[in-house]
Homo-oligomer: A and B are copies of this chain.
Amino acid sequence: MQHAHDEKHFTAGEAVRDIVIGMSDGLTVPFALAAGLTGAISQTRLIVTAGFAEIAAGSIAVGLGGYLAARSDAEHYQHEQRREEEEIIAIPEAEAQEVRDIFRTYGISPAECETVVESLRKRPKDWVSFMMRFELGLEAPSPGRAWKSALTIAGAYVVGGFIPLSAYLVRQDAQAALRLSVVVTLASLAVFGGVKGRFTGVPVLRGALQTTVIGGLAAAAAFGIARWIG
């Protein structure tokens, strides 16, 4: 039943989510930075240097940010779990009342849910699991998730960032490199947005359009700012 239900309500898995996070930023920010610098300077070598420095900085910041977020979720879960374990021993009446309050928000009377409350009171472990999910809306985090998440996000960022910069490696003239980079990156953003849409339930064309517009806007803003300062 659980399996059939997973298929019915399909949503992105954790790894897909991490790849999407890393690649969205990786395709967009180094692209926009390189495009922006082309508005101010003409040496492709400097643009490439700045681009790779950005990929290093961005992938570490986003990857370690993902690591901390996943670890802090796991710690938050454990912290709240201990608290619930203590509370159902220390103040069982108050916790039983909380169960009734949860049901009341769905129009279920104390009398109607009494058998459920009594059943939970017999099994402290199930009771804690019930409170974690139904009172706090928290899901048990998968072990080892934090590092896997960090590496997936950072790796996707690096892969995404290489695409716009590759144009500056094959073209010596900065303007020509920019034109090639715009074509290659906007096409990649469209493909990425479409594939991402498949996983997140957004229509393919709209997904493609969204990521392309974001990348284009970011690049145009960076170009404008760099030209204005540079």
Residues of A within 8 A of B (CB): 1-2, 5, 9, 11, 24-25, 28-29, 31-33, 36-37, 39-41, 45-46, 48-50, 52-58, 60-62, 64-65, 68, 72, 75-76, 79-80, 83, 97-98, 101, 103, 105-109, 111-116, 118-120, 123, 126-127, 129-130, 133-137, 139, 200-202, 210, 214-215, 217-219, 221-226, 229-230
Contact = CB atoms under 8 A, between A and B. Distances in A.
Given A106-B129, A115-B115, A210-B68, A219 B37 contact: no
A112 B119 contact: yes
A115 B116 CA distance: 9
Contacts of A39: 53
Contact of A33 (B11, B53, B135, B202): B53
Contacts of A46: 40-41, 46, 230
A111 B114 CA distance: 12
A40 to B, nearest CB: 5
A112 B36 CA distance: 65
A131 to B, nearest CB: 10
A225 B28 contact: no
B53 A225 contact: yes
A120 B108 CA distance: 7
B112 A9 contact: no
Contacts of A72: 200-202
A106 B120 contact: yes
Given A9-B136, A52-B229, A61-B218, A116 B107 contact: no
A218 B3 CA distance: 41
A213 B218 CA distance: 28
Contacts of A98: 1, 5
Q: Which of A28, A46, A60, A105 has the largest number of chain B CB atoms within 10 A?
A: A60
5 contacts: A2-B101, A49-B229, A107-B123, A108-B116, A112-B118
A54 B29 contact: yes
